[in-house]
């Protein structure tokens, strides 16, 4: 039994392989992805999803989807739906194993009763402030609550009263009776139930008491007989509590294993902060293409394969670290290079007139769709006397090493002919308005017998056939690689004012009018683009996914980013 890849095993695989070898026949890898439905999933969750589903697939096991929905105030079915959509889109399937911690509320209640009956839980009337005060600080033992030694009978009666709605919100809590002097603060009699007369998005107003996350998460794993509870490092300190509860309740011993959170430069992965970006209107929504949410990445044009591959490349770490955004971009470029159709789009057009090409004559030239994919076929491109080329591809007085167009220079037009420039026109400010050329009729791509040389190849679009569109170019949402790591500054201070630029005068080849749904393209020499969900044939919209090359090394040298 081993992994498909040729890399060495990471520490979680090592643990699993050891268990499979020693625990005997019936041992199963059973993982779960346990989101709280209080926000949209982000790139860090994508990592956790790939890990949980990936490792179960690898060892013939199963993965549950479980919503840890213990907080009725912050949760919503909109989030539940978005989470399911995102996991499916990433390419994973939980089959019929869709569970909710809220489905276990009765079982969890019975667990609490069991703790009380064993003398391991008590109802505390102290206020939240008093409880915090008595908990103290890790370096000194805390103080025991005056309610800690209530009798089992009294605790049972009060806890039942809490469930029956006899007490005000916040007036009482149920606490586990563990150790007020433990150096681990989670072991200092943690609160496990609170009164909150709020309706829940699934259980309605059935409950007015809710288990705390720490009294639901681990137990839900046990109820589902999850063998490996994979979670992020911040839960390391909670593990002794979860293990204590497993022993006290005599329930299935799920094993928690912690791994480092994924952090990506220029991205934030705190749901609370992402919610602020949305609620305060700094972005257009959860699926704004600048957001590090899965919905945002999808709209930006990232593919499921690229995110899965990224997750693989990042690996599993035991210590927190920061992954460069350029790695994520590398992964999407690699995937799109294989699947994206090549098309020609001139973003900043300048007019070219081919003087020796007849007026009102047009010809269709074949153009392959993707040199990386022999099955991608080809399309026809209309060519005629008047064309657009990119403004940056012409210089009135070019240096020697400039292989694009200038007076007395030749270039090849992609899929078409070699042209020669002999003149250009400018407006009063000296801005070039038109470039005059001639073409070599026997230099057609694929059947060139002209013997004429041209060093550069340019993309172009026939003027009368050009289609317009709104093209959105994105930069990072923040100007700082770690916007949340500055203690004295709010992360919003690092919002990038130039994170979106709209290009509205681009000229697109006419085949793009047939774009349907979400389609990826490589705009030749420009980058990878994707059609936006709001795009229609009447009003096309494309988002830039990523440039063709890694631009980060250059930016870093400039010391700007």
Catalytic residue among 196, 261, 276, 351: 261
Nearer to ligand ATP, 274 or 381 (CB): 274
Nearer to ligand ATP, 267 or 336 (CB): 267
* Contact status: 349 vs ligand ATP (CB under 6 A): no
In angstroms, what is the minimal distance from the CB of 247 to ligand ATP? 23
* Contact status: 261 vs ligand ATP (CB under 6 A): yes
Nearer to ligand ATP, 40 or 440 (CB): 40
* Phi, psi dihedral angles at 397 (to 5 degrees): -140, 70
Q: Could you tell me which residues are beta bridge partners of residue 367?
A: 379
Contact segment (CB under 6 A) with ligand ATP among 32-40, 128-136, 249-257, 480-488 equals 32-40
* Contact status: 34 vs ligand ATP (CB under 6 A): yes
- Where does 247-392 show beta strands of DSSP type E? 255-259, 262-264, 321-323, 341-343, 345-346, 349-354, 363-368, 378-383, 386-390
Retrieve residue 422's tokens: 């002999």
Retrieve residue 501's tokens: 């630029």
Catalytic residue among 150, 271, 300, 385: 271
Retrieve residue 285's tokens: 């929504």
Contact segment (CB under 6 A) with ligand ATP among 12-20, 37-45, 159-167, 506-514 equals 37-45
Nearer to ligand ATP, 50 or 471 (CB): 50
In angstroms, what is the minimal distance from the CB of 56 to ligand ATP? 14
User: Is residue 355 flagged as an active site residue?
Assistant: no
* Contact status: 202 vs ligand ATP (CB under 6 A): no
Q: CA-to-CA distance for 397 and 383, rounded, in angstroms?
A: 27
* Contact status: 47 vs ligand ATP (CB under 6 A): yes
DSSP per-residue codes, 101-123:
GGGGHHHHHHHHHHHHHTT-EEE
Nearer to ligand ATP, 34 or 61 (CB): 34
* Phi, psi dihedral angles at 230 (to 5 degrees): -85, 130
* Contact status: 101 vs ligand ATP (CB under 6 A): no
Retrieve residue 527's tokens: 């980058």
Q: Are strands 262-264 and 321-323 parallel, antiparallel or unpaired?
A: parallel
Contact segment (CB under 6 A) with ligand ATP among 31-39, 236-244, 314-322, 477-485 equals 31-39
- CA nearest to 175, candidates 186, 163, 164, 183: 186
Pair 396, 429: CB distance under 8 Å: no
Contact segment (CB under 6 A) with ligand ATP among 30-38, 188-196, 323-331, 502-510 equals 30-38
3-state secondary structure 202-266: CCECCCCEEECHHHCHHHHHHHCCCCEEEEEHHHHHHHHHHHHHHHHHCCCCCEEEEECCEEECC
Q: How is residue 182 annotated by DSSP?
A: -
User: Is residue 271 flagged as an active site residue?
Assistant: yes
Restricted to residues 210-249, the positions that interact with ligand ATP (CB under 6 A) are 231-232
Nearer to ligand ATP, 115 or 477 (CB): 477
Dihedral of CA atoms 542, 548, 552, 555 in degrees, nearest 10, equals -80
Contact segment (CB under 6 A) with ligand ATP among 28-36, 200-208, 304-312, 389-397 equals 28-36
Q: Which of 90, 115, 262, 507 binds ligand ATP (CB under 6 A)?
A: 262
Nearest residue relative to ligand ATP (C-beta): 44
In angstroms, what is the minimal distance from the CB of 232 to ligand ATP? 4
Nearer to ligand ATP, 214 or 532 (CB): 214
Cα angle 537, 542, 544 (rounded to 5 degrees) comes to: 170
Q: CA-to-CA distance for 69 and 203, rounded, in angstroms?
A: 10
Q: CA-to-CA distance for 202 and 103, rounded, in angstroms?
A: 9
In angstroms, what is the minimal distance from the CB of 32 to ligand ATP? 9
In angstroms, what is the minimal distance from the CB of 64 to ligand ATP? 12
User: Is residue 84 flagged as an active site residue?
Assistant: no
Contacts with ligand ATP: how many residues (CB under 6 A)? 14
Look at the block and give the residue holding tokens 């060495």: 8
Contact segment (CB under 6 A) with ligand ATP among 45-53, 126-134, 241-249, 539-547 equals 45-53
Nearer to ligand ATP, 163 or 261 (CB): 261
Active site positions, annotated: 36, 261, 271
For ligand ATP, the binding residues (CB under 6 A) are 34-36, 38, 44-45, 47-48, 231-232, 261-262, 269, 271
């Amino acid at each position: 039994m081993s992994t498909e890849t040729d890399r060495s095993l990471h520490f979680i695989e090592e643990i699993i392989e050891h268990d499979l070898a020693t625990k005997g026949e019936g041992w199963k890898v059973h993982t779960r992805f346990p989101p709280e439905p209080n926000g949209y999933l982000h790139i860090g969750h994508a990592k956790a999803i790939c890990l949980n589903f990936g490792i179960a697939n690898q060892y013939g096991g199963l993965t549950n989807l479980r919503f840890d929905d213990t907080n009725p105030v912050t949760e919503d079915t909109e989030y539940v739906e978005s989470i399911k959509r995102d996991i499916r889109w990433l390419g994973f399937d939980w089959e019929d194993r869709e569970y909710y911690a809220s489905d276990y509320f009765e079982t969890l209640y019975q667990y609490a009763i069991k703790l009380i009956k064993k003398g391991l839980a008590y109802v505390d009337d102290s206020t939240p402030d008093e409880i915090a005060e008595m908990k103290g600080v890790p370096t000194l033992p805390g103080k025991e609550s005056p309610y800690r030694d209530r009798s089992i009978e009294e605790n049972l009666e009060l806890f039942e009263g809490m469930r029956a709605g006899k007490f005000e919100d916040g007036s009482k809590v149920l606490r586990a009776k563990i150790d007020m002097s433990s150096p681990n603060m989670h072991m200092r009699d943690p609160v496990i139930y609170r009164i909150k007369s709020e309706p829940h998005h699934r259980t309605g107003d059935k409950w007015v008491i809710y288990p705390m996350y720490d009294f639901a998460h681990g137990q839900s794993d046990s109820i589902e007989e999850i063998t490996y509870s994979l979670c992020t490092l911040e839960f390391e300190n909670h593990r002794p509590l979860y293990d204590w509860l497993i022993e006290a309740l005599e329930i299935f011993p799920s094993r928690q294993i912690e791994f480092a959170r994924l952090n990506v430069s220029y991205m934030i992965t705190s749901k609370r902060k992402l919610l602020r970006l949305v609620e305060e209107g700094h972005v257009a929504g959860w699926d704004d293409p600048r957001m590090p949410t899965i919905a945002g990445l999808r709209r930006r044009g990232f593919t499921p394969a690229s995110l899965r591959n990224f997750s693989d490349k990042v690996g599993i770490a035991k210590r927190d670290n920061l992954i460069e955004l350029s790695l994520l971009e590398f992964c999407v470029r690699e995937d799109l290079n294989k699947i994206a159709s090549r098309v020609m789009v001139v973003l900043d057009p300048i007019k070219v007139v081919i003087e020796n090409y007849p007026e009102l004559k047009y010809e269709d030239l074949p153009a392959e769709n993707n040199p990386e994919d022999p099955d991608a076929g080809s399309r026809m491109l209309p060519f005629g006397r008047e064309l657009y080329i990119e403004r940056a591809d012409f210089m009135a007085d070019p240096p020697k090493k400039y292989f694009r167009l200038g007076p007395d220079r030749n270039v090849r037009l992609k899929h078409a002919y070699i042209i020669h420039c002999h003149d250009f026109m400018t407006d009063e400010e000296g801005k070039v308005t038109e470039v005059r050329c001639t073409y070599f009729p026997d230099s057609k791509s694929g059947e060139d017998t002209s013997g004429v040389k041209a060093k550069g190849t340019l993309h172009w679009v026939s003027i009368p056939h050009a289609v317009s569109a709104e093209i959105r170019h994105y930069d990072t949402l923040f100007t700082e690689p770690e916007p949340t790591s500055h203690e004295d500054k709010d992360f919003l201070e690092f919002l990038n004012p130039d994170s979106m630029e709209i290009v509205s005068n681009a000229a697109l080849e006419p085949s793009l009018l047939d774009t349907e749904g979400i389609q990826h393209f490589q705009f030749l020499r420009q980058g990878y683009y994707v059609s936006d969900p709001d795009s229609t044939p009447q009003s096309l919209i494309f988002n830039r996914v990523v440039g063709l090359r890694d631009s980060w090394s250059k930016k870093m040298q400039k010391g700007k980013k």
